[in-house]
């Protein structure tokens, strides 16, 4: 999986006996073997794991320090012919001082030693009694076991056979300080940080620590692998829990169960390509030219197995509570943005086409919310139902009932007669249900909305969503156009959850909204069946929106290649779609995304809600004439 930018990392809390270096070393070796079986490329252990963090004045005993040297030599011999990189905590004597250090080992060699910088000496911590800060270090190298080993906080470990992967190491308090060492390491080029820690437990500290690591990972745009001393360290007045976690740019990938007396290992795949893509986009993230970093090369083996899982709906939180919070926040963003436009223009009337479908329903409900904020009566909402050749009784009744339930003003303009006349004028056979037949209706509806807006001194509110814009599933100068579009940043897979949230949130039209949620997605531009059922199902033509939203997220948010998207999609949807189906619809996505840019180049104003926006004035500056050839060619080997 290295070709797609994945690096498998692990964090292990080993079973431990305080001051029993031999026992601890054997347990570390056992856990390294287990990590190798899991294809872990880089593994980190807690702070001072060779001795135990709580040895106190025993750190000044020659016997303990001598046994640590022997343990390091043992680990070097053990690591020969093993390509796993592992990082362990140990005291290191150098420059007439003892340093609380992390030692990085691979294949019989010590790659580097990193001493701790911030030495806590407050409350329950008393480390300055035994250890010096890295600031007291004079040497750049230390001679151990017939090696000259780099030592210092300026070490970056760069993977020579995995382009773009560089890691740095910091120790416990270094991340709690006002200027964490990982700040320097990340702007020096590290995209993964390993932290060896010994953080005891007190009430509230677990959540604080978790938020600290989450935000540090997000702030530095890194994968952050944290591991802390386990419960076996507990002694005298302190209790340790053995907390370990793996974050990627603020997103939790893995976390262990704390308070485990046995050894435990967590591991996951960090996507360094994704992290690098974020750094490319974020021009505020710049390397620090004022500091020199020593770069140490290493290699990791190809990992054939991807253990990481992905959500089928990346725009929709899977946790119901978080989803509810997200929906509430989005509705505030959409409605406040519209309210600001109404307030600025001093316009009180909103005009929209209401179809009985999901998108127009959400837009209508957002106008209702905006009116609440401005104290505008709902009768100022001009909801226009425009039955055409494909309108079914179900959608028509739902549209009418919805408008009436909220006390909005309903107008009906049947477009069939005008479309028939238009087709006669342009000499189009009305029995030819081609693109002209469909788009003629869409443009007729937009013309009606624009003209009524002129009559009423109102704003036409667009209803099209992010997924439709990505695919160009809209009629140029038809439903593509409006005076303000409230759904342009809302993907199709999220629309239904927003409508569902509003339906459950004391809506007077709950039953109507639930029926709309159950209605097939369709533009209703082609005649229905004899049974008055919708025949023109959008997803039959362009493909499942759940796939397209997945493609859109990984393609735009992280710049993922088509091959990588196929790999992630098949792993995620293998119970729902065949690989052939995934390839088929990805090709459709890529072709439509590239060829339909001209519609997005002149899209109306619309509020940005999430991390992906297709506005040509904001996030998406793309040439209308770009070729998609290279992207499709990459998929040929997957067929």
Distance (Å, rounded) from C-alpha 444 to C-alpha 502?
A: 30
Distance (Å, rounded) from C-alpha 310 to C-alpha 552?
A: 14
Residues 620, 626 contacting (CB under 8 angstroms): no
Reading phi first (left if > 0) and then psi (alpha if -120 to 50, else beta), residue 107 is in: left
Contacts of 433 (CB under 8 A, 6+ apart): 526, 527
Pairing of strands 192-197, 166-171: parallel
Is the dihedral angle over the CA atoms 66, 67, 70, 71 positive or is it negative?
negative
DSSP string covering 369-404, please?
Answer: HHHHHHT--GGGEEEEE---TT--HHHHHHHHHHHH
Distance (Å, rounded) from C-alpha 67 to C-alpha 25?
A: 10
Q: Which one of 15, 27, 47, 233 is the catalytic residue?
A: 47
Classify residue 152 as exposed, middle or buried by CB count within 10 Å of its CB (0-12, 13-18, 19+): middle
Active site residue 47: yes
Reading phi first (left if > 0) and then psi (alpha if -120 to 50, else beta), residue 145 is in: left
Distance (Å, rounded) from C-alpha 588 to C-alpha 541?
A: 10
Residues 129, 57 contacting (CB under 8 angstroms): yes
Q: Which one of 116, 492, 564, 599 is the catalytic residue?
A: 116
Residues 370, 342 contacting (CB under 8 angstroms): yes
SS3 197: strand
Contacts of 33 (CB under 8 A, 6+ apart): none
Residues 476, 603 contacting (CB under 8 angstroms): no
Active site residue 172: yes
Which two tokens mark 3? Answer: 């070709």
Which two tokens mark 52? Answer: 């135990």
Distance (Å, rounded) from C-alpha 379 to C-alpha 406?
A: 9
Helix 579-595, helix 545-552: angle, nearest 10: 60
SS3 465: coil
Going by the DSSP 8-state scheme, the letter that residue 151 receives in this structure is B
What's the CA dihedral at 297, 298, 299, 300 to 10 degrees?
Answer: -130
Give start and end residues of each alpha helix (H) in 39-180: 62-79, 173-176
Q: Give the distance from CA 539 to its chain's centroid.
A: 25
Active site residue 419: no
Q: Which one of 12, 159, 172, 419 is the catalytic residue?
A: 172
**Secondary-structure breakdown of the chain: helix, strand, coil percentages, each rounded to the nearest 5:** 45, 20, 40
Q: Catalytic residues, which ones?
A: 47, 116, 172
């Amino acid at each position: 999986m290295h070709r797609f930018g994945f690096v498998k990392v692990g964090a292990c809390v080993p079973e431990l006996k305080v001051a029993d270096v031999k026992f601890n070393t054997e347990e570390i070796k056992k856990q390294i073997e287990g990590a190798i079986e899991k294809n872990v490329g880089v593994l980190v252990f807690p702070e001072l794991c060779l001795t135990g963090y709580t040895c106190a004045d025993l750190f000044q005993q020659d016997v303990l320090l001598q046994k640590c040297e022997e343990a390091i030599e043992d680990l070097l011999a053990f690591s020969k012919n093993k390509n796993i990189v592992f990082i362990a905590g140990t005291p290191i004597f150098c420059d007439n001082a003892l340093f609380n250090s992390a030692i990085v080992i691979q294949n019989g060699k010590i790659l580097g030693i990193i001493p701790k910088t911030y030495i806590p000496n407050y409350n329950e911590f008393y480390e300055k009694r035994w250890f010096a800060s890295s600031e007291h270090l004079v040497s750049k190298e230390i001679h151990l076991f017939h090696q000259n080993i780099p030592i210092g906080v300026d070490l970056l470990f760069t993977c020579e056979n995995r382009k773009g992967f560089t890691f740095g190491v910091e120790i416990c308090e270094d991340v709690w300080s006002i200027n964490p060492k990982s700040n320097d390491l990340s702007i020096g080029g590290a995209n993964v940080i390993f932290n060896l820690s010994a953080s005891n437990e007190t009430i509230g500290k677990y959540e604080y620590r978790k938020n600290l690591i989450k935000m540090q990972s997000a702030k530095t745009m890194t994968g952050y692998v944290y591991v802390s001393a386990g419960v076996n360290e507990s002694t005298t007045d302190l209790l340790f829990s053995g907390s370990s976690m793996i974050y990627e740019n603020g997103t939790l990938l893995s976390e262990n169960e704390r308070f485990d007396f046995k050894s435990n290992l967590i591991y996951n795949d960090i996507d360094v390509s994704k992290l690098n893509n974020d750094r490319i986009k974020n021009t505020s993230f710049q390397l620090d030219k004022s500091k020199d970093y020593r770069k140490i090369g290493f290699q990791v083996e190809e990992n054939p197995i991807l253990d990481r899982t992905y959500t089928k709906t990346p725009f929709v939180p899977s946790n119901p509570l978080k989803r509810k919070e997200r929906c509430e926040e989005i509705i505030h963003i959409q409605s406040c943005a519209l309210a600001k436009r109404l307030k600025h223009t001093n316009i009180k009337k909103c005009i929209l086409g209401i179809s009985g479908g999901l998108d127009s329903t959400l837009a209508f409900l957002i106008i209702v919310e905006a009116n609440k904020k401005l104290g505008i009566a709902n009768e100022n909402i001009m909801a226009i139902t425009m039955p055409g050749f494909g309108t079914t009784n179900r959608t028509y009744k739902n549209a009418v009932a919805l408008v009436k339930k909220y006390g909005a003003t309903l107008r009906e303009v049947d477009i069939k007669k005008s479309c028939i006349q238009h087709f006669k004028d342009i000499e189009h056979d009305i029995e030819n249900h081609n693109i002209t037949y469909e788009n003629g209706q869409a443009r007729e509806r937009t013309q009606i909305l624009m003209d009524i807006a002129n009559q009423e001194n109102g704003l036409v509110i667009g209803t099209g969503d992010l997924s439709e814009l990505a695919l160009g599933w809209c009629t140029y100068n038809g439903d593509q156009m409006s005076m303000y579009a409230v759904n342009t940043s809302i993907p199709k897979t999220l629309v239904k959850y927003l409508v569902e949230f509003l339906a459950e949130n004391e809506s007077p039209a709950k039953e109507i909204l639930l029926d709309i949620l159950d209605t097939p997605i369709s533009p209703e531009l082609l005649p229905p069946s004899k049974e008055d059922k919708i025949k023109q199902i959008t997803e039959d033509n362009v493909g499942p929106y759940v796939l397209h939203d997945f493609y859109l997220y990984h393609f735009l948010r992280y710049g993922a290649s088509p091959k990588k998207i196929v790999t992630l999609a098949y792993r995620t949807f293998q119970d729902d779609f065949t690989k052939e189906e995934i390839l088929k619809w990805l090709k459709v996505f890529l072709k439509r995304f590239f060829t339909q840019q001209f519609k997005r180049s002149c899209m109306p104003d619309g509020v940005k809600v999430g991390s992906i926006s297709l506005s040509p004035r904001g996030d998406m500056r793309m040439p209308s004439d770009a070729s998609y050839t290279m992207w499709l060619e990459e998929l040929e080997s997957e067929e």
